[in-house]
Structure 1
């Protein structure tokens, strides 16, 4: 996956194979949003996944944003909020 695609949240990569550390999760409109750990030096970078079973297959969309923070709680709140925004804007279209 290219650097820009990762940076701006493109792609339907699974986080299970990557072994990401999940900081928090929430179910929203039938999707599961997870805030995941992504270190950027001494800070945490905003990253998460959105999962949903579609036609019997678990689909996962990974998003990474440029925002960085030092607080894990802030990261979780912002990642879950960003996940809800992506779902509201794109719905199941994120898996295409």
Structure 2
């Protein structure tokens, strides 16, 4: 699969659509929901990061270019990268 096809799939909801959401992981007041995306026989690192509840809830979609050969490894890498992003950016992750 070419680069353009991969990008098209990210935005068109094609082959790279997220699989079922995983269990929520809490980190420093943020919630991380891993959502590995199947992409050409591999899995793309992706998650939703949220903070707050109800009308106060803020959400950030986290999608990386990293591809992993299996789903479990992808979830592990997703959580590590999401936690690092939270550690580095804190509330600035929401813009």
| TM-score normalised by structure 1 residue count | 0.71
Per mean C-alpha deviation after superposition, the further-off stretch among 42-51 and 53-62 is 53-62
Which residue does the alignment assign to 1:69? Answer: 68
Question: Secondary structure at the residue paired with 2:26?
Answer: strand
Which residue does the alignment assign to 1:39? Answer: 38
Question: Secondary structure at the residue paired with 2:85?
Answer: helix
User: As a proportion of its length, which structure holds more helix?
Assistant: 2
Distance 2:18 2:44 in 1: 17
Distance 1:39 1:19 in 2: 7
Q: Report how many aligned residue pairs link the two structures.
A: 80
Decide which structure has the larger Cα Rg and report it: 2
Cα deviation for residue 24 of structure 1 reads 3.9
The answer on whether the counterparts of 1:24 and 1:36 sit within 8 Å (CA) in structure 2 is no
Give deviations 1:32-82, integer Å, cap 9, x for gaps: 011103121111111111110179521111111111112111011110111
Distance 1:66 1:57 in 2: 30
Stretches of structure 1 that go unaligned for 5 or more consecutive residues are: 1-6, 8-17
Of structures 1 and 2, the one with the larger relative CO (CA 8 A, separation 6+) is 1
